[in-house]
Each structure stands twice: as structure tokens, then as C-alpha cells.
Amino acid sequence: MIFKEFAPSERLKPYIKCLYFYESGSAVNYDDIVFPSGNTEIIFNLGQGHWQIKKDGAFYTTPPIELWGQITKPLSIKSIGENTMMGVRFYPHSAAYFFNESVAEFNNEVVDATDLMGASLKTLHACLLDMNDLDKRITLIEEYLWSRLVLFDKKHTKINFIGQIVHSLYSNNSGNEKIEAISVRNNISARYLYMLFSQYTGLPPKLFCKINRFQHSLNLVNTNGQNLTNIAYESGYFDQSHFIREFKSFTGITPNSFAAQASPINQVLAGN
């Protein structure tokens, strides 16, 4: 497996968290689970294989250009054949800059991104398929995204405002902050905050904080080797049982089970 992550160009840094390249290197089929990350993504499938996601008890093949909405619960996936893909990972609020629909419409969905962005995205995909140079592929994707920013500039002020709140919440791993406290701090009503946050990130503020806290704990489980009690308190949970319960709600497994079976592709598709 090859996975490479790239910082966006300077002009796109406020809008794109990262770009990445993934190549499976093998045609062996496998199953995996994707966890909530708090981010949305666009993925260009460029290989001979394909992906499937589980919905309503059955697996469905994803489109050539995928828009991943906010995932709020464990999502089962299958890799079929040898896969190659280029991905764009947005900040929680920043996918909203690039299309007009409410981000919340796509929660727990993987949809055809061309339904939102039109024929120009199909043209971009065709160009990416025609070249193998990674740097040129990145340049093409960035040029396309930059060209779309001006299309919805009337809503940029509101998205920027939610982005400021998102960044302030990143520094607080606790999922216990009340929406009323966030709204008072930002001088808006709780109802208006809930509406804007859901529209532009796909998540209510409380759930965003919970996923942010979960992702922090996930990183500690992956890299730290601390015991679960320490991870729980460092991540802002009330106690170890609270941590385990919420971790399992987002992954379907306990922290100890996750540490024993974490897979590389999960880190690609659920990266924070």
C-alpha cells in the first residue's frame, strides 16, 4: 500500500485540509470499517478496482467521484480489486464553499460528486485518468477547486464565521461544552448557531464536539500506549467507562479491540 498526504498550495490552505494519494498495490479484496472524522471528502477513483459501502444491510458500489458526507457512525466498506485514488479532505466547514447544498444532506452518505458539481468535475476526472504524474494531478485538482470558490461567494461570510468557531472548538477536546455557552461566546442565539453549524459542517455543535473528542482519543490509542483511564481523562471524558462507551458508539468496538486490529485504509478514509 502507498499513501501520501500533501499540504495544499498557499491560496487554498484556508479551504482544504490536505490532498492525498492512495494505491492499494494489491488486487486482494478486503472488508473494513470507516469511523467518524468530522471532515468531508471528495475522492477520485483512478484504478481498475472499486469500492463498496454498506447501506440498509446491502453493499453498493460507490461512484467514480465520491463525495463523503459527515460519517456519524461506523460505516462498513469493501475494497474490490486494485484501487488507486486521489482525495481532497476538507475542514469540517469548508466543503460548503464549493457547492450550494446543505452539507447535512449528505450525512452518512457517499454520493456522486458530479450531481453537485456537474460536468466540469467529470472533465477533471477524465484528465486525471489520462496522466500519471502526481504533481500535475494535484495542480489540476487545485486549479479546479480554486475556480469554484467564486461561484458561491455570497455565503462566504457565514462559512468563515462557522470556521472560526470550528477552529476554537478544536483547541477544546471536551465534548461537554453546552451549545448555549458557545452561542453566548459568539453573540448569537443557540438556535441560529445550531442551524448554521448543521448547514455548513453537517453536524450539530454538540455532535461535532463529541467527534472531535473521539478523534483525539483515537490518536492517543494509536500512538501513545497509555492506559485507558489516562486516555479518557486527557481526551475530556468523565471516566473510563464513558470513554469506552462513546468510543464503541463511533467504531463498533472497544479501544483495546481497535488497537489490536487497526488497519491502514481506515486511517486514510477516517483521518483527522
Position 244 scores a pLDDT of 94
Position 223 scores a pLDDT of 78
Q: Does a structural domain hold residue 67?
A: yes
Q: Does a structural domain hold residue 24?
A: yes
Position 240 scores a pLDDT of 92
18-43 pLDDT, tens per residue?
999 999 988 889 899 999 999 999 99
Q: Does a structural domain hold residue 207?
A: no
Position 53 scores a pLDDT of 96
Position 173 scores a pLDDT of 56
Q: Does a structural domain hold residue 228?
A: no
| Listed residue (155, 146, 144, 148) closest to 10, CA to CA | 146
CATH number of the domain residue 122 falls in: 2.60.120.10
Q: Does a structural domain hold residue 53?
A: yes
Position 191 scores a pLDDT of 92
Q: Does a structural domain hold residue 132?
A: yes
Position 267 scores a pLDDT of 53
Q: Does a structural domain hold residue 247?
A: no
Domain count, the chain: 1
Position 152 scores a pLDDT of 85
Global confidence as pTM: 0.91
Domain span at residue 122 reads 2-152
Q: In the chain, which stretches have pLDDT less than 50?
A: none
Cα 194 to Cα 102: distance, rounded to the nearest angstrom: 13
Q: Does a structural domain hold residue 162?
A: no
Position 178 scores a pLDDT of 77
